[in-house]
Homo-oligomer: A and B are copies of this chain.
Amino acid sequence: MKKGLLIVLSGPSGSGKGTVRAEVMRRQPFAFSVSATTRLPREGERDGVDYHFITREQFEKRIQEGDMLEYTEYNGNYYGTPLKEALAEINAGRNIFLEIEVEGAMNVKRAYPEAVLIMLLPPSFSEQERRLRGRGTESDEVIQGRLDRTHEEMSFFPQYDYVVYNEDINACADDILSVVRAETCSVKRYPTAHISYFDT
């Protein structure tokens, strides 16, 4: 059984990673790994289906035990991807796609070095600024904060495997799905794939 891929997409504010992710998902199914969270279930949400609803204590214990592939804290609640669940999908030959920020991606790479890290960038920094200002929903200060943060995020760039520039959503999805397809053919990734050739 050929292992699946763990694909991680990151990108600075204004890179369009949410839209690109949606287009990738629309074109090709990826395995779904149920996230864990410490927030309370909303009406209709089911434990183990929508989320694994666990306590703060349980979540922090799993972080310490290295069982969170990546996690983030938002509005006082933790959200994360349990490592064991993700590995179960990968070992069953299914691909997982995570859209997470740079720090999370670095955690994933540490926990699972075979992960494929893709950085999505706007076509240029000036275009990134133009896009952020074009939204018209954020103050100059917030926008400047996002642009400053891009400098920090880019310091992790050399640890990414691929970079995709978002001029066009379809072209980005083509790039990302080409990476998935190419990695599936990689000899280094599957170094023993040929050994059985003569037995078949």
Contacts and interface: CB of A to CB of B under 8 A. Distances in A.
A170 interface: no
A123 B183 CA distance: 18
Interface in A175-200: 175, 177-179, 181-183, 185-188, 190-191, 193-194, 197-200
A3 to B, nearest CB: 15
B187 A154 contact: no
A160 B194 CA distance: 11
A69 interface: no
A190 B161 CA distance: 10
B182 A124 contact: no
A135 interface: no
A117 to B, nearest CB: 9
Contacts of A48: none
The copy count of this chain in the complex is 2
B200 A186 contact: no
A188 B150 CA distance: 21
Nearest to A164: B185
A121 B182 contact: no
A174 B181 contact: yes
Nearest to A162: B185
A163 B193 contact: yes
Interface of A: 118-119, 121, 123-127, 151, 154, 157-158, 160-164, 174-175, 177-179, 181-183, 185-188, 190-191, 193-194, 197-200
Given A161-B188, A163-B190, 6 more contacts: A124-B200, A154-B198, A158-B191, A161-B186, A175-B182, A177-B178
